[in-house]
Structure 1
């Protein structure tokens, strides 16, 4: 049941990343929160399978800190989308 806390924390960090990383208009509103929730949940799951219990502070720190990777992931995604859009505009001779 505690995995829900990791999922919620990941979604909140993903939401923060969505609003702080530029180029919001090039990606969907749910990409950041969903990516954050997935990362937080995966870290929790992996540490649980590795035998780390909920009484250990490492599972909490890792699952709450791991979704920070959403910030650079959204930046890369935004840059790739802008480059793709520019190539498509050039291919269609729109710009």
Structure 2
């Protein structure tokens, strides 16, 4: 049940991260929170399987912080790739 707290925190902080990162117009509003939530869930589950207890602060820091870090990196990569693709498409049609 505690995984829901980590997932909810990652999603809420992911929404804030969406508005902090540049090139918001190149991605959907749900992309960054979705990546943060999914990554947080994977990290939390992996650490639980490794034997880390829910009372350990490293579990929470790694799952929420790691999820946000992965989301920030992925969001920046998505924006860069999208921007480059848009530039190529504009050049191809002569705009």
Same fold (TM > 0.5): yes
Q: Which sections of structure 2, spanning at least 5 residues, go unmatched? A: none
CA distance in 2, matches of 1:20, 1:38: 19
TM-score, normalising length: structure 1: 0.90
Aligned equivalent of 2:37:
37
Gaps of 5+ in 1: none
Which position in structure 1 is the counterpart of 2:23? 23
Moved over 6 A (4+): none
TM-score by structure 2 length? 0.90
Residue matched to 2:75: 74
Give the RMSD, CA atoms, in angstroms: 1.2
Query: Whole-Å Cα distance in 1 between the matches of residues 41 and 68 of structure 2?
Result: 13
The separation in 1 between residues aligned to 2:19 and 2:33, in whole angstroms, is 10
Alignment of 1:51-62 (within 5 A): 51-62=51-62
Q: Distance in 1 between matches of 2:31 and 2:51?
A: 30
Displacement, 1:37? 0.4
Note if contact 1:15-1:32 (Cα within 8 Å) is conserved in structure 2.
yes
